[in-house]
Structure 1
Amino acid sequence: MGFRHEAFGYDGEEGFVARVTEFVRGGLAEDAAVLVVAPAQRLGPARKALGADADGVEFLDMLDVGHNPARIIPLWQDFLNRNAGRPCRGVGEPVHEGRGTAALVECHQHEVLLNVAFADTDWRLLCAYARPEPAPSRASHPWWDGASNPAFDARHRGCTLAQPLPEPFGPTALLRFDLDSVTGVREYVAGKARRHGLDADAVERLALAVHEVMVNSVDHGGGGGMLRLWAEDGDLVCEVRDEGVISDPLVGRRRPTLAQPRGRGMWMVNQLCDLAQVRSSPDFGTVVRLRIGETGTRQA
């Protein structure tokens, strides 16, 4: 069958539970491994409706494991690896009421990239959307409500890196960096993070993530780049821009192997930050925008 990436729209808790339990029980009937990843407030009712069948299902809170949407594809890959040789079914709800504007953008990027990451695999993934469904959801799912989706746009596969990010509002600090100034700029970012109210752990995570991205710019982006820093919706946002171009749309979304000599930087960044947005094109180079919330609470 190949990878069946399907979505459905639901009205209220009852609509979610009815469709998910039907899908899950269909998987259990064929001895499939089943993982449901959704906000905790919908996991409880789904588990209750499944009754004894819930014992054969794995449940994870999307607000925890998928706080940064770039972590969701590796989660599904780990699930498939754990259950190699068995039929597999998943239910995911990355787009939910707890997402901010920037995170919603990345959720739609994630949905497109699922079609790239799992193109050569054989399993079923059902994505839930509260009605009214956001417009981009229709274009990223080949199947909708059990039928072939005429709104699916296969041209978007892997093309998400070229979509520019909106410009920031309000005061923005700007610094240029090269190999000699990376350490000083990292310390500048750490100082700004402390003044923004981040706790010590969050300050260190942001500083380390920024350092990794700047080193990538030095190595692959022309020897240096430009850093911008600003506050937005309670988050501290740090953007690194350089002249390089990334060709892999799944950068940072594959778990590195122990034998892999390089390529761990963006993976690490996605584990450290609440949100990481990557855009790259010959027209504007590469932009990596990192966010950490002012509470400094790590969600992974």
Structure 2
Amino acid sequence: MSISTTPVTAPDGELVHRAVPYRDPEHQAEVLAGPVAGALEHGRRALLVVEPRCRSELERSLGPDADVRFCPPERVHSAPPFTVAGRWSRAVRGAIADGATGVCTVGQPLDLPGTDAAYWTRLDLALGHAMRELPVEMLCCFADGDDAREAVGALHDEFLLDGAPVASTHRRGDHELLREHPQPPPSDLGAPLVTVPVELSELAGMRRLVQRHAEQSGLTRGRVADLVLAVNELVSNGIEHGSGSPVLRMWRTPAGLVAEMTDPAPCHLAFPGLTAPPLCGPRGRGMWLASELTDVLQVWTAEDDPGRVHDTVVRVTMSAP
């Protein structure tokens, strides 16, 4: 198969989101070599999360000097999908700040612990949302087969076929797909360290409480400050835009210190915390800031997970040091 080495991309600042079918890892590497090489030739970075055989073939075809960053799949996908999408967004923004004209990202569903169809669907949608205003060519590989293109086409604007973009005729709405692939409900973490309803007059005391538990958990001074600010943003949101008296709970777990804000008021953000709000906007910064400051942010809403979640539940995790 002849593959063009010139990527077909959108203007700077716009996401190109394509599904890439393949027969086997060797064919996958053959199909990807052109777009990845073309991206590098045009001053773009390449961030790839692929299975080992495909990686080996790409390393051989692209050469040892190719500026390609291969990320271990088991490490990348060790977090919830929205957290993974946020990390990818930060990596892309970092590459652009470092002088790259754009980024070519490559990923694929793999059989990894903690992943299922809902994980991969939510990740694909979250990645598209988190990077929608960035100069990114996002290539999502999938094993071609019976009905595979219809299912994958529901998530993607285009396919990359024989080196050329082909519009998907099966694209569906993101909100509809999220409802069909809900995330697991909040896990039971046992008895919390604290359970505190917080009102506006109690925010200062709440911040001191979070600081004390963060310090006792072994967090560094900077991470203590980040966690206090993140929790303050989340609880303040509940006070200002929710019921006025959200509940804060905290746990110390093997993953780190967990802080959770629950509020009976609904949340209507399909992709909370994934993109920064407009600078001129009056609201929406708190969730994004909390996501940027902590290791993991998870949000459950009755709208997102009907029948399993009745309140808005927001959890952040911060690990030591």
CA distance in 2, matches of 1:200, 1:40: 36
1:206 corresponds in structure 2 to 227
Q: 1:92 aligns with which of 101, 106, 124?
A: 106
Which amino acid is 1:288 matched to? V
For residues 229-262 of structure 1, what are the alpha-carbon distances to aligned partners after superposition, in whole Å with 9 as ceiling and x for unaligned? 2234432221111133332323322234544443
1:171 maps to 2:181: no
Q: Does structure 2 retain, via aligned residues, the 8 Å contact 1:240–1:288? A: yes
Q: 1:223 aligns with which of 244, 266, 283?
A: 244
CA distance in 1, matches of 2:315, 2:108: 20
For residues 46-90 of structure 1, what are the alpha-carbon distances to aligned partners after superposition, in whole Å with 9 as ceiling and x for unaligned? 567423883xx67486869x984224346557879999xx9x762
Count of matched residue positions in the alignment of Structure 1 and Structure 2? 282
Q: TM-score, normalised by structure 2?
A: 0.63
Structure 2 gaps of 5+ residues are 1-8, 11-15
Q: Does structure 2 retain, via aligned residues, the 8 Å contact 1:8–1:126? A: no
Given the superposition, is the C-alpha separation of residues 273 and 220 from structure 1 closer, same or farther in structure 2, using an over 3 Å criterion? same
Structure 1 gaps of 5+ residues are none
Q: Give the deviation of 1:220 after TM superposition.
A: 0.5
1:60-71 alignment runs, 5 A limit: 68-69=83-84, 70-71=86-87
Asked which structure has the greater CA Rg, the reply is 2
What root-mean-square deviation, in Å, do the aligned CA atoms of Structure 1 and Structure 2 show?
4.8
SS class of match (1:168):
coil
Q: TM-score, normalised by structure 1?
A: 0.67
1:33-182 alignment runs, 5 A limit: 34-38=44-48, 49-51=61-63, 54=66, 59=69, 68-69=83-84, 70-73=86-89, 90-93=104-107, 101=114, 108-116=121-129, 124-127=137-140, 140-141=155-156, 146=161, 154-157=172-175, 160=178, 163=182, 165-173=184-192, 174-182=195-203
More helix by share: 1
CA distance in 2, matches of 1:170, 1:121: 37
For residues 10-35 of structure 1, what are the alpha-carbon distances to aligned partners after superposition, in whole Å with 9 as ceiling and x for unaligned? 988x787555423313556xx75543
2:33 corresponds in structure 1 to 21
1:278 corresponds in structure 2 to 299
Shifted more, 251-260 versus 140-149: the winner is 140-149
Q: Give the deviation of 1:141 after TM superposition.
A: 4.8
Given the superposition, is the C-alpha separation of residues 17 and 201 from structure 1 closer, same or farther in structure 2, using an over 3 Å criterion? farther
Q: Give the deviation of 1:183 after TM superposition.
A: 2.3
1:291 corresponds in structure 2 to 317
Q: Does structure 2 retain, via aligned residues, the 8 Å contact 1:74–1:255? A: no
SS class of match (1:224):
coil
Given the superposition, is the C-alpha separation of residues 240 and 191 from structure 1 closer, same or farther in structure 2, using an over 3 Å criterion? same
Given the superposition, is the C-alpha separation of residues 82 and 8 from structure 1 closer, same or farther in structure 2, using an over 3 Å criterion? farther
1:5 corresponds in structure 2 to 18
1:196 corresponds in structure 2 to 217
Q: Give the deviation of 1:224 after TM superposition.
A: 2.0
Which amino acid is 2:123 matched to? H
CA distance in 1, matches of 2:132, 2:221: 41
Which amino acid is 1:4 matched to? H
Given the superposition, is the C-alpha separation of residues 246 and 169 from structure 1 closer, same or farther in structure 2, using an over 3 Å criterion? closer
